[in-house]
C-alpha cells in the first residue's frame, strides 16, 4: 500500500473542507498547500500537519512530489491553474466552475483528454447517498421515462445591501453569479439522476439588489456582512435567476435560484417526475428520498447501507439511521476519485463514475446558453 501525495491550492473556506475530508481517506497525504495569502496557507498547514507551504500555484505545481492537485482557487484563476496542473502531468480535482466560460472549459477538457489526466470536479451534491440511490433507480428503470422536473436552490447570504462577495464582480466571477454558482449544481443533479442531457434553455437573470455596499478591504465567501468602511457599488450580475430547461428526450423542467431569500440557507430542492414514479430530494433534509406514486402511498426512503441498491450502499457508510452530512458527501466523491487514481497507478481499468471535466464542460455550456438566452429573451440551445 502506497500513499498518494496531494497538493492543494487555495486555503479559503472550501480549501479547508478539502483538507479535512482528505484526512479521512487513509491512503492520501497532503504534502503541500499554496495560497497567495501566505498566512492563511500557513495556518491551514499547521492545523492539518502539512509539510510544505507555497505562496503561489505555480510553485506547488512544480513540486515533484505532488501527484494530485486540488484546485480550490478563485474562479478567475481556475483555467490557468487547471491547465498548468494538466500540463505538469498531475491528476486533478478542481472546484467548479472549471473556468469562466465554455470556450475555456472546452480547452481544459481537450488538454485533459490529450494527457490522460484523471480530472474530477467537485459536484458534491450528487454524492449524498439517496441522490446516488435516485440515479441508480433511474438506471434500473424504476422511474420510467422522465417527463418533467422542477426545483430551486435558494440562499440568503446576499440578503442585505451590506452583503458583498467577489462572486458579484464579473472580473472575478465571470459572466454570471447565481445561475452559475448554484445553478450548475442543480443542472448536474438533473443530468446525473435522469441520465439525460440538457439541450435547450430559456433563462431570466435578474438583480434583486442593484446597489450594494462593498467593504473597502477584501471579502470572503459566506461573509457575515460588511464591517468597517464600505462604498456603494452597482451590481450587474444576477442574484436571482429562473430557467426553463429541455432534456434530450423532450422532458421539460423549471428552476429558480436566488441568494436573497431570507431564511433559506443552502436550500436545494429537486423533483423529478417519471412515467412510473417520482423522486424528490431536499438538501435541507438530505438523508431522505421521497418517492411518489399515483396508486399507493408515497415512500420516504432514508439513506441506508442495508436497503439501498447494491451499487450505492457504499455511500451510506454508517448503520441505517446515523445521518450523513455535507462532509460525508464530499468524502464520497473524493473516495471515488481516489479509487480511480489508485486504479490508474496500478494500471487497472477504472470507471470514472465521479463528475469529471466532461461534466464540468457540459455545465459550463448550459450556463453559457442561459446567459445567451437571457440577453436574447428567447430560448437558446446548449452548444
Q: Which of residues 175-194 bind its own copies (CB under 8 A)?
A: none
CA dist 154 and 297 (Å) reads: 29
Q: Which one of 59, 160, 215, 350 is in contact with its own copies (CB under 8 A)? A: 160
Q: With binding defined as CB under 8 A, does residue 382 bind its own copies?
A: no
Q: Which one of 219, 266, 309, 343 is in contact with its own copies (CB under 8 A)? A: 266
The single residue listed with the C-alpha cell 470556450 is: 103
| Torsion, CA 379, CA 171, CA 162, CA 158, rounded to 10 | 40
Q: With binding defined as CB under 8 A, does residue 234 bind its own copies?
A: no
- Quick one: DSSP state of residue 311? G
Q: With binding defined as CB under 8 A, does residue 13 bind its own copies?
A: yes
Q: With binding defined as CB under 8 A, does residue 166 bind its own copies?
A: no
**Least distance to its own copies from the beta carbon of 23, Å?**
5
**Least distance to its own copies from the beta carbon of 217, Å?**
19
Q: Which one of 15, 120, 183, 286 is in contact with its own copies (CB under 8 A)? A: 286
**Least distance to its own copies from the beta carbon of 172, Å?**
19
23, containing H or E segment: helix 13-24
Window 336-365: residues binding its own copies (CB under 8 A):
none
Write the CB contacts of 277 (distance below 8 Å, at least 6 apart in sequence).
Answer: 142, 143, 144, 291, 292, 293
Q: With binding defined as CB under 8 A, does residue 262 bind its own copies?
A: yes
**Least distance to its own copies from the beta carbon of 305, Å?**
9
CA dist 225 and 160 (Å) reads: 8
Could you tell me how many residues of this chain bind its own copies (CB under 8 A)? 89
**Least distance to its own copies from the beta carbon of 121, Å?**
18
CA dist 182 and 214 (Å) reads: 22
Q: With binding defined as CB under 8 A, does residue 227 bind its own copies?
A: no
Window 57-116: residues binding its own copies (CB under 8 A):
none
Q: Which string of x and - marks every residue 37-56 that binds its own copies (by CB under 8 A)?
A: ---------xxxx-------
Write the CB contacts of 171 (distance below 8 Å, at least 6 apart in sequence).
Answer: 76
Q: With binding defined as CB under 8 A, does residue 375 bind its own copies?
A: no
Q: Which of 68, 80, 89 has its CA nearest to residue 18? A: 68
Cell numbers for 238, please give them.
444576477
Q: What value, to the nearest 5°, has the Cα angle with vertex 220 and ends 214 and 222? A: 95
Count CB-CB contacts under 10 A for residue 292.
15
Nearest to its own copies of 190, 202 (CB atom): 202
Q: With binding defined as CB under 8 A, does residue 293 bind its own copies?
A: yes
Give the number of C-alpha atoms closer than 13 A to the C-alpha of residue 13, restricted to the C-beta side. Answer: 6
- Quick one: DSSP state of residue 103? H
Window 205-224: residues binding its own copies (CB under 8 A):
206, 208-209, 221-222, 224
Q: Radius of gyration over alpha carbons of the chain, in Å? A: 21
Window 303-322: residues binding its own copies (CB under 8 A):
304, 306-307, 318-322
Q: With binding defined as CB under 8 A, does residue 301 bind its own copies?
A: yes
Q: Which one of 184, 256, 332, 359 is in contact with its own copies (CB under 8 A)? A: 256
With H, G, I as helix, E, B as strand and everything else as coil, classify residue 375. helix
Amino acid at each position: 500500500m502506497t500513499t498518494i501525495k496531494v497538493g492543494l491550492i487555495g486555503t479559503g473556506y472550501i480549501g479547508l473542507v478539502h483538507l479535512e475530508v482528505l484526512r479521512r481517506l487513509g491512503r492520501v497525504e497532503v504534502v503541500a498547500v499554496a495560497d497567495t495569502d501566505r498566512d492563511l496557507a500557513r495556518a491551514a498547514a499547521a492545523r492539518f500537519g502539512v509539510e510544505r507551504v507555497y505562496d503561489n500555484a505555480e510553485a506547488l505545481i512544480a513540486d515533484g512530489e505532488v501527484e494530485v492537485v486540488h484546485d480550490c482557487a478563485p474562479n478567475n484563476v481556475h483555467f490557468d491553474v487547471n491547465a498548468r496542473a494538466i500540463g505538469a502531468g498531475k491528476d486533478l480535482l478542481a472546484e467548479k466552475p472549471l473556468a469562466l466560460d465554455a470556450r475555456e472549459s472546452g480547452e481544459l477538457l481537450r488538454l485533459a483528454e490529450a494527457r490522460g489526466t484523471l480530472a474530477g470536479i467537485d459536484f458534491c451534491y450528487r454524492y449524498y447517498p439517496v441522490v446516488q440511490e435516485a440515479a441508480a433507480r433511474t438506471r434500473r428503470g424504476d422511474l420510467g421515462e422522465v417527463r418533467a422536473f422542477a426545483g430551486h436552490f435558494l440562499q440568503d447570504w446576499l440578503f442585505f445591501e451590506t452583503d458583498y462577495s467577489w462572486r458579484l464582480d464579473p472580473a472575478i466571477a465571470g459572466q454570471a453569479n447565481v445561475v452559475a454558482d448554484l445553478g450548475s449544481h442543480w443542472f448536474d443533479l438533473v443530468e446525473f439522476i435522469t441520465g439525460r442531457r440538457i439541450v435547450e434553455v430559456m433563462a431570466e437573470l435578474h438583480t434583486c439588489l442593484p446597489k450594494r455596499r462593498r467593504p473597502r478591504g477584501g471579502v470572503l465567501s459566506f461573509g457575515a456582512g460588511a464591517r468597517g468602511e464600505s462604498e456603494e457599488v452597482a451590481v450587474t450580475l444576477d442574484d436571482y435567476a429562473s430557467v426553463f430547461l429541455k432534456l434530450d428526450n423532450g422532458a421539460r423542467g423549471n428552476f429558480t435560484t436566488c441568494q436573497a431569500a431570507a431564511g433559506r440557507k443552502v436550500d436545494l430542492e429537486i423533483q423529478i417526475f417519471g412515467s412510473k414514479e417520482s423522486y424528490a430530494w431536499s438538501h435541507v433534509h438530505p438523508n431522505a428520498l421521497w418517492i411518489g406514486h399515483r396508486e399507493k402511498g408515497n415512500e420516504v426512503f432514508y439513506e441506508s447501507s442495508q436497503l439501498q441498491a447494491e451499487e450505492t450502499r457504499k455511500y451510506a457508510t454508517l448503520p441505517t439511521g446515523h445521518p450523513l452530512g455535507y462532509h460525508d458527501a464530499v468524502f464520497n466523491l473524493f473516495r471515488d476519485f481516489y479509487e480511480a487514481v489508485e486504479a490508474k497507478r496500478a494500471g487497472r481499468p477504472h470507471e470514472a463514475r465521479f463528475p469529471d471535466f466532461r461534466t464540468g464542460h457540459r455545465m459550463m455550456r448550459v450556463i453559457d446558453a442561459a446567459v445567451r438566452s437571457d440577453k436574447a429573451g428567447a430560448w437558446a440551445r446548449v452548444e
